[in-house]
Structure 1
Amino acid sequence: MTHTDVPSAGPCVLAVDVGGTTMKGVVVGEEGRIRHSVVVSSPAEADTSPVEALRGLCRQLNSDALALGAVPAGIGVVTPGIVDEAAGVVRYASNIRFRDVPLRTLIRDDLGLPVAVGHDVRAAGVAEAVSGAARGLDNFLMLPLGTGIAATVVLNGEPVAGADWSAGEVGHMPVHPGGELCACGQRGCLEVYASAGGLARRYIRLGGTPGLDSRAIAEATCTDPLARSVWDTATHALGTALATLTLTLDPACIVLGGGLAEAGAQLFDQVRATLQSALAWRAAPALLPSAFGARAAQVGAAILARRAAGLAVPEGWGAQNQGSEVPRSG
């Protein structure tokens, strides 16, 4: 699927967000607005090798930009997994079948452009810091609640990567020691109870109506006792985990994104109540929805691309892309 807008004057950047289901590529103009977008199947679903599928999308995006009369200055590519951003290497990403992939070198050789390689959740946090819900804050957390749960930890204005580029794997915090088995091999992980994917799987495993996703389960809580129980367990687990993170990191705010956050007040009110009740001697940090939603990693990748190209990123850059998805036609 593609969508094209009128290109703007000045250099553009390319940005690619690699997910487990789709890869989303965008051309972003000098002023920060998405001008062209392409959505294709993820590398894991491709007939070719996953690395070649991604390289093909990057080449297509570069050609599309040139055809529009826009000259790319750089490209940012963000993926899940363990991403060594300094080396430009994806060390391991199971859901897209990447292991020790030297993305920066490969894409630079293909396109001849400066390349930034980043972690998708850390990139989303960069977008929120520059122009989103955490704009102007030096210390905050961002957690997309999707198929799994990871976090951007921003301290003193910098996303924390960790000693082995694995910081922020909060989805595997034990919230119910000895609890239900997680795909990672541990028991009682936050992801099992409070991710969108985990919540849906748990509801079905306990005997719920097959085929309901997290949004449908949220909508059924008034009439379905099991949906209410699973939902309450999820919000309590998330609030408890956020209390632990608050006491450890003292964030100014916590930003929630991803599919589960689309439940709005139904999620935020319950999580906020649990978070505050777990903090007896201090106030809870502000709990805020992501400004960019599903676009956050794309905008973050574009910011990384501008930095790699030596271009300025003024505060508020990319804010035009907040809100609903860019319309696409196939």
Structure 2
Amino acid sequence: MSILKLKPSCKDYIWGGSRLAEEYGKECDKEVIAETWELSCHPDGPSYIVNGPYVGKTLKQYIDIEGRDVLGVNCRRFRDFPILTKFIDAKDNLSIQVHPDNRYALKNEKQYGKTEMWYVMDAGEEAFLYYGFKREVSKEEFAKRIQEDTLLEVLHAVPVQKGDVLFIESGTIHAIGKDILIAEIQQNSNVTYRVYDYGRVGKDGKKRDLHIEKALAVTNRVPIVKGRNSYPHVADCDYFTVDKLNLDGNVMKKLEGNVSGASFASILMLDGEGTISNGNERLSFKKGDSFFLAAGSGTYTVEGSCDALITTIREKAAPVRIGIDIGGTTTKIGLVDIHQQLLACEEMDTDPDRTAEAVIEEIAQRVLGLLERQGILMDQCIGAGIGVPGTVDRKSGIVRYSNNMKWEDVKLAEKIGVYLPIPVRIANDADCAALGEAAAGAGKECQDVIMLTLGTGVGGGIILDGEIYEGKGIGGSELGHMVIVEDGEPCTCGRRGCLEAYVSASALIRDAKRALGKEMTPEEIFAGASGGNEVLKDIVDLYIRRLGIGIVNIVNIFRPQLVLIGGGISAQGENLLGPLREIVKKNCFGGEKGELPEIETAALGKNAGMIGAASLI
């Protein structure tokens, strides 16, 4: 059994009409049919099998029983069934909306984002849809226009007619206008952020929810210059390839196709009637029918007259990003997938006594070797992110100064781009570690995260709205160099009284040596304090108070959801965190009457920098 005829789930959204029932024979117990989900494994609306031994089962149940081989080799890169196919009858205007990309949706919605395409099956004489902005708008103007109900003034209204195709990439603001009938092929997602809805109310009599904050975070506010050229296909992207089949029943009344082991085929009949056959199977079709042909089905034949869309998944590995964490002694290289998981990684000695060119060349060669060993082609990589210690100009891709690396004005992005022909982004290593924790570690449920790394020095990263905050200049944040004691201990930066001069591991070791005359590790110092050594207890208490002062200052300024402690000293766990929480509770402005952040230890360890660097892409 290789041809499955499918019955859709139906949706009765308030803007829908009756054409799908009257003209396409869709059966539903609802008065309005806005959408029919023709090819779907989504739990919000599965499609059902109406022929053969699996009749009555959902498409997902069939796949679960038969195994994922029925989807084809090209679908191995997807965690879930990759696409969702719909018919849409817009009797009235749909809401103005936007869909997030995979990264944002997986983090915030626990499902994929949505890139989609529309094929206009029919449209009224004055029909149009909204597709992006007329001009670039700022985030502030976008938010203001939503609030003031003037958003439509800056949206691009596109007249449409039968046969038009639009490709809507994630992040594109859009809406289907009234009096339009559409076939939609999209990523398998049901995530939509509504920003304007004409003041309509739902079935409960209340205005439908808007999702303004999320929309502000994901919308591309730059006009779409031109449509996506997918020739010779109707549409083609990492998630689906769509081709058009047209048989006029006279000159062209028969077509043979082939479904290889690479991908299943979805055939959506837009118009006409006839038969579809594969081997000994032969089924009739009419307009509106939807068929699924399992991967490896072989030759199939369509006879009669029809317009149809045939959707397959082309060969393309899951998007892979390269994350590189450059350190003064060791550099870590990782391959990261869309789920923020490390696929593979390796380390190399950095040796800062070598020239920057030599280090960069070895890093690039190591990356190429890692890709080769993993069987990943370069064109399957969507970019490389690099974290490097020091002052970094992210916009120009230049390391302005790195004391650890002895680098000055090194064009890192440009130089590594000679070996890796993909987009390259760079940032400070502490910022990357913070971004990694926010993307996949202890802060993955938060948008606003501050991280302090307590090691030889004190590094810090600020993540606001899911992005690295670095201000308008270069260099990013230097949390370790806020002054907490006027004219205090000398700091490595040349000033006195910095947080780093009191709460780095080096500072803790220094204070213990002053008091006891011997070198001790931070672990030994904390252990001695817990064991009753009063001198060490006083040292640890003062250390925690100084760290608490720094955290209080940070919280009063940024009001994050979470403060993370990383670096070697974070291994002290609750011995460190418990007292810090009390200091923050007691000393933060507003105290417990405000929203105090959680204070936790970082979770990713040495992997944070690689994952964070990859997340720059």
- What TM-score comes out, normalization by structure 2 length? 0.45
Q: Does 1:41 align with 2:349?
A: yes
Contact 1:150–1:168 (Cα < 8 Å) also in 2: no
Contact 1:76–1:115 (Cα < 8 Å) also in 2: yes
Aligned to 1:198: 507
Q: CA deviation at 1:208?
A: 4.1
Pick the structure with more strand per residue: 2
Q: Does 1:56 align with 2:362?
A: yes
- Single out whichever of 32-41 and 240-249 deviates more from structure 2: 32-41
- Single out whichever of 178-187 and 155-164 deviates more from structure 2: 155-164
Secondary structure of 1:218's counterpart equals helix
Secondary structure of 1:220's counterpart equals helix
Residues 43, 162 of structure 1: alpha-carbon distance in 2 compared, 3 angstrom cutoff? farther
Unmatched 5+ stretches in structure 2: 1-76, 78-316
Q: CA deviation at 1:31?
A: 4.7
Choose the corresponding residue for 1:236, options 542, 545, 550: 545
Determine the C-alpha separation between the residues in 2 that align with 1:22 and 1:269: 33
Question: 1:148-188 deviations in whole A, cap 9, x for unaligned?
Answer: 12322223333211233233212111222122111212112
Q: CA deviation at 1:99?
A: 0.9
Question: 1:245-268 deviations in whole A, cap 9, x for unaligned?
Answer: 111111122111111111100110
Q: CA deviation at 1:243?
A: 0.9
Secondary structure of 2:606's counterpart equals helix
Q: Does 1:21 align with 2:329?
A: yes
- Single out whichever of 111-120 and 234-243 deviates more from structure 2: 111-120
Q: Does 1:260 align with 2:573?
A: no
Aligned to 2:393: 84
Secondary structure of 1:209's counterpart equals coil
Q: Does 1:68 align with 2:374?
A: yes
Determine the C-alpha separation between the residues in 1 that align with 2:322 and 2:463: 24
Determine the C-alpha separation between the residues in 2 that align with 1:178 and 1:159: 31
Determine the C-alpha separation between the residues in 2 that align with 1:290 and 1:300: 13
Determine the C-alpha separation between the residues in 1 that align with 2:329 and 2:524: 20
Q: Does 1:172 align with 2:478?
A: no
Secondary structure of 2:444's counterpart equals coil
Alignment of 1:244-255 (within 5 A): 244-255=553-564
Contact 1:258–1:294 (Cα < 8 Å) also in 2: no
Q: CA deviation at 1:293?
A: 2.3
Determine the C-alpha separation between the residues in 1 that align with 2:515 and 2:326: 32
Residues 94, 292 of structure 1: alpha-carbon distance in 2 compared, 3 angstrom cutoff? same
Aligned to 1:327: none
Residues 132, 107 of structure 1: alpha-carbon distance in 2 compared, 3 angstrom cutoff? same
Amino acid of the structure 2 residue aligned with 1:261? S
Choose the corresponding residue for 2:435, options 107, 126, 141: 126
Q: Does 1:137 align with 2:137?
A: no
Q: CA deviation at 1:229?
A: 2.4
Question: 1:295-314 deviations in whole A, cap 9, x for unaligned?
Answer: 2111111222xx2xxxxxxx
Q: CA deviation at 1:98?
A: 1.2
Q: Does 1:220 align with 2:532?
A: no
Contact 2:340–2:439 (Cα < 8 Å) also in 1: no
Secondary structure of 1:96's counterpart equals coil
Q: Does 1:297 align with 2:609?
A: yes
Amino acid of the structure 1 residue aligned with 2:474? W
Aligned to 1:189: 498
Aligned to 1:105: 414
Pick the structure with more helix per residue: 1
Amino acid of the structure 1 residue aligned with 2:366? Q
Residues 220, 236 of structure 1: alpha-carbon distance in 2 compared, 3 angstrom cutoff? same
Sequence identity percentage: 28
- Single out whichever of 252-261 and 101-110 deviates more from structure 2: 252-261
Q: CA deviation at 1:240?
A: 0.9
Determine the C-alpha separation between the residues in 1 that align with 2:561 and 2:337: 31
Question: 1:187-223 deviations in whole A, cap 9, x for unaligned?
Answer: 121111111232223322444432x222222122124
Secondary structure of 2:347's counterpart equals strand
Unmatched 5+ stretches in structure 1: 1-7, 308-330
Aligned to 1:321: none
Q: Does 1:10 align with 2:318?
A: yes
- What TM-score comes out, normalization by structure 1 length? 0.82
Contact 1:78–1:123 (Cα < 8 Å) also in 2: yes
Highest CA radius of gyration, 1 or 2?
2
Determine the C-alpha separation between the residues in 2 that align with 1:186 and 1:20: 22
Determine the C-alpha separation between the residues in 2 that align with 1:27 and 1:146: 26
Contact 2:387–2:426 (Cα < 8 Å) also in 1: yes
Residues 17, 89 of structure 1: alpha-carbon distance in 2 compared, 3 angstrom cutoff? same
Amino acid of the structure 1 residue aligned with 2:364? C
Q: CA deviation at 1:114?
A: 2.0
Secondary structure of 1:125's counterpart equals helix
- Single out whichever of 67-76 and 93-102 deviates more from structure 2: 67-76
Alignment of 1:307-322 (within 5 A): 307=617
Amino acid of the structure 2 residue aligned with 1:22? T
CA RMSD between the two structures = 2.2
Name the structure, 1 or 2, with higher relative contact order (CA <8 Å, separation 6+). 1
Residues 134, 36 of structure 1: alpha-carbon distance in 2 compared, 3 angstrom cutoff? closer
Residues 13, 156 of structure 1: alpha-carbon distance in 2 compared, 3 angstrom cutoff? closer
Aligned to 1:273: 582
Q: CA deviation at 1:224?
A: 3.4
Determine the C-alpha separation between the residues in 1 that align with 2:469 and 2:340: 25
Determine the C-alpha separation between the residues in 1 that align with 2:336 and 2:563: 27
